[in-house]
A and B are shown apart, each in its own frame.
Chain A
Amino acid sequence: MLSRVADALYWMARNGERTENNAHILQVQLVKMLEESGRESVNYQDWQTVIDICGSKSAYEEDYGELRVHKAVDYIAFSNGNSNALTNTLSYVRENARMTRDVIPNELWEVWNDLYLHSQSKGPHTEFSFQDIHSFLQHIKTTSMTSTGIIDSMMSRDLPYHFMKIGQWLERAEKTALIMKVMLQKAKLSDCHSFSEYDGQFALRLVNGYQDYSKKFRLKDPALILQFLISDRTFPRSIYYCIEHVKEVIWKIESEKVAHYSWRMYAALDELIASVEDVCVQQLSFEELEMFIADILNQCIEFGKIFSTTYYLIEADASR
Chain B
Amino acid sequence: MFEPYKTGHYYDEMLQENGEPKEHYRQFHSVLQRLSEEEFKEKHETAQSSFLRQGITFTVYGEEGGTERTMPFDCVPIIIPADAWETIEKGMKQRVEALNLFLEDIYHDQHILNDGIIPRELVEQNPYYYKQVSGTQFPLKNHIFLAGIDLIRDEQGTYRVLEDNLRNPSGISYVFQNRFVMRQVYPEFFSRHSLCSLEDQITHLQSALLSHIPSNMKKHTEPRAVLLTAGMYNSAYYDHVFLAQQMNIALVEGRDLIVKDNVVYMKTIQGLKRVDIIYRRVDDDFLDPKAFREDSLLGVPGLIDAYKQGNVAILNAVGNGVADDKAMYTYVPDMIRYYLKEEPIIQNVETYILSDPKQREWVLEHLHELVVKNVGASGGYDMLIGPHASEEEIEIFRSKILENPKQYIAQPTIKLSRAPVYQQGNFYPCHVDLRVFVMKGEETHVLPGGLSRVALKKGSLVVNSSQGGGGKDTWVLKEVMQHA
Interface residues of chain A, those whose CB is within 8 Å of chain B, are: 1-6, 95, 98-99, 101-102, 106, 109-110, 113-114, 117, 159, 311-313, 315-316, 319
Contacts and interface: CB of A to CB of B under 8 A. Distances in A.
Interface string B242-271: 001100001111011000000000111101
B181 interface: no
Contacts, number: 55
B290 to A, nearest CB: 18
Given A4-B253, A102-B251, A312 B269 contact: yes
Nearest to B50: A110
What is the interface of chain A mostly: helix, strand, loop, or mixed? Answer: helix
Contact of B244 (A102, A110, A113, A117): A102
A1 B267 CA distance: 8
Contact of B232 (A1, A3, A95): A95
Contacts of A312: 267-269, 271
B215 to A, nearest CB: 26
B298 to A, nearest CB: 12
14 contacts: A4-B253, A4-B255, A4-B256, A5-B250, A98-B55, A101-B55, A101-B241, A102-B241, A109-B54, A110-B54, A113-B53, A117-B53, A315-B267, A319-B255
Nearest to B241: A101
Given A110-B54, A113-B53, 12 more contacts: A1-B268, A2-B268, A3-B256, A4-B267, A99-B232, A110-B55, A113-B55, A117-B53, A159-B269, A312-B269, A315-B267, A316-B255
A98 B269 contact: no
Given A1-B269, A2-B266, A98 B232 contact: yes
- Top 8 nearest A-B pairs by Cβ distance? A311-B269, A102-B245, A102-B244, A101-B241, A102-B251, A319-B255, A113-B55, A6-B269
B430 to A, nearest CB: 28
B245 A101 contact: yes
Contacts of A316: 255, 267
A243 B269 CA distance: 21
Interface of B: 52-55, 232, 237, 241, 244-245, 250-253, 255-256, 266-269, 271
B269 A117 contact: no
B256 A2 contact: yes
B266 A117 contact: no
Contacts of A113: 53-55
A2 B232 contact: no
B252 A2 contact: yes
A286 B400 CA distance: 81
Interface centre among B53, B250, B266, B269 (most CB of A within 10 A): B269
B250 A2 contact: yes
Nearest to A96: B232
